[in-house]
Structure 1
Amino acid sequence: AREQEDAGRIQRNILEEQIELWWFKDPRKSILCYGVAVVLILACGTGGIVLLYSTSSRSGEWRLAVGTTLCLLALLVLLKQLLSSAVQDMNCIRSRHQIELLKSGGFSDCVVLLLSALVLLVCGIVLTVLSATTMQLSPSRPLASMFTSGIVLVAAGAAILLCLLLYVLGTSCCPAAPRSLDTGDISVFTISGRLSVNHRLATTSSMANLI
């Protein structure tokens, strides 16, 4: 029994040391954060391009400023995703803590989403206040569109901030799902085929064992 426990511990340690597997821990979080990042990139990029394309002489300043800000925000989120992917492909980081920070669903995603929400809120509040103040003096159609854009940006920023808050509370309060290494539902590929441990470990011998 003691030998079986030692063999099981050795196999678990071997799997735990595989750096490639660290990037794919908590796949649901990774898929959720990746999907949110894609939606944010498409929304900010499309909104920025629309504002830049619709720039006119009467409302050129605020459309140019907000459109440029949205495009830069989309590039920032895209840069974070590309950076994480490049670091993962190059396998240049071997620290579990740093991988937890960089991978999708990690701390860096929360920082990027928080920054995006703050940028949208600031832009929306500025547009809303300026348009509401100016419309009292001279109501016009460009100011009305400026006010509508500000409301949309404030709503988008508040929605991102609320979702981020719920995500952080959910991940911190709810216990993490047990990993496959802890549940005993493990499938291990061995060269010799002689590491047969307790009945919960399914080992598969390679063709080298038949030679």
Structure 2
Amino acid sequence: MPEMNDFPPPRAAQPAGPDRARIQRSVLDEQVELWWFHDPAKSLLCYSVAVLLILGCGLGGIILLSSTTSFSSDWRLGAGTALCLLALAVLLKQLLSSAVQDMNCVRSRRRIGILKSGGLSDLLVVLVTGLCLVICGAVLLKLALGYHMPKPGVALNDMYISGVVMLAGGTAAVVGAGLYAGVVLLVERTRHGRRFWDRALGVFTISGRHMDQGSRETTSSLANLI
């Protein structure tokens, strides 16, 4: 059959070239310095919350300590000292994270994820600070409401207002930390689900391509045999 020789020879499978985008992404993922800025939105949010806590607790503590009198020296001194210590604790965490980042002494992705702004350490600091504010505010409210006086003085009114402010701020911090943890957990689960789905689709696509190439090679071999 001379007409069967007119079929073109089967084309060899061309090797796929390297994916430049994937190579560039893998190279960037290996840079330890970039791991600290992997989620800029979360980092900016947690950094702003830390600044608000430092300013709020610091200014509140300074105001209470500076307005201490002989009649109300106990609760003002205690509450002001507690607020200043909380502000120093949040500031210390931010300074430690910056120092560890500048020294580049941590090269584990998991540890960097914990220490960076927006990581687990920020969540714990905000949660502990909020709980401390709630406890201090509840104590001040209990003390203010415990005095059975016909005409409470200015000191008791200040104690009551300070307790309400601290209780409201602590509750907001605790609720915000809980919402943040829930949203981050949901996003991480959704992200892992998308990665799994993308991998499954990739395996299915690659398998389909291999099956298609195999069927084409089989058809070509049968044609050459005929």
Please state which structure has a larger fraction of its residues in strand.
1
**Residues 173, 137 of structure 1: alpha-carbon distance in 2 compared, 3 angstrom cutoff:** same
CA distance in 1, matches of 2:151, 2:143: 12
More helix by share: 2
Q: How does 1:127-138 map to 2 (within 5 A)?
A: 127-136=140-149
CA–CA separation in structure 2 for the residues paired with 1:46 and 1:28? 27
Query: TM-score of the superposition, structure 1-length normalised?
Result: 0.79
Query: Could you tell me how far 1:130 is from its partner in structure 2?
Result: 1.1
Identity %: 53
Mapped pair 1:25 → 2:35: no
For residues 1-211 of structure 1, the aligned pairs below 5 Å read: 1-5=15-19, 9-136=22-149, 139-174=152-187, 175-176=190-191
CA displacement, residues 140-165 of structure 1 (integer Å, 9 cap, x when unaligned) = 22112111111111011011111111
Offset at 1:24?
0.5
> Would the aligned equivalents of 1:55 and 1:63 in 2 still touch at CA under 8 Å?
yes
Aligned to 2:203: none
Q: 2:160 and 2:191 mapped to 1: Cα distance?
A: 43
Q: After the TM superposition, which of the residue ranges 95-104 and 132-141 deviates more from structure 2?
A: 132-141
Give CA-to-partner distance per residue, 1:73-125, whole Å, 9 cap, x none: 00000000000001000000000000000000000000000010011000000
TM normalised by structure 2 equals 0.74
Tell me the number of residue pairs that the alignment of Structure 1 and Structure 2 aligns.
178
Amino acid at match of 1:2: A
Q: Deviations over 1:32-85 (max 9, x none)?
A: 000110111011100000000000000001000000110010000000000000
Unaligned runs of 5+ in 1: 183-211
Give the Cα–Cα distance (whole angstroms) in 2 for the partners of residues 9 and 47 of structure 1. Answer: 51
CA positional deviation for 1:173: 1.4
Q: Who wins on radius of gyration, i.e. which is larger?
A: 2
- Provide the rounded CA distance (Å) in 2 between the counterparts of 1:158 and 1:111: 15
**Amino acid paired to 2:81:** T
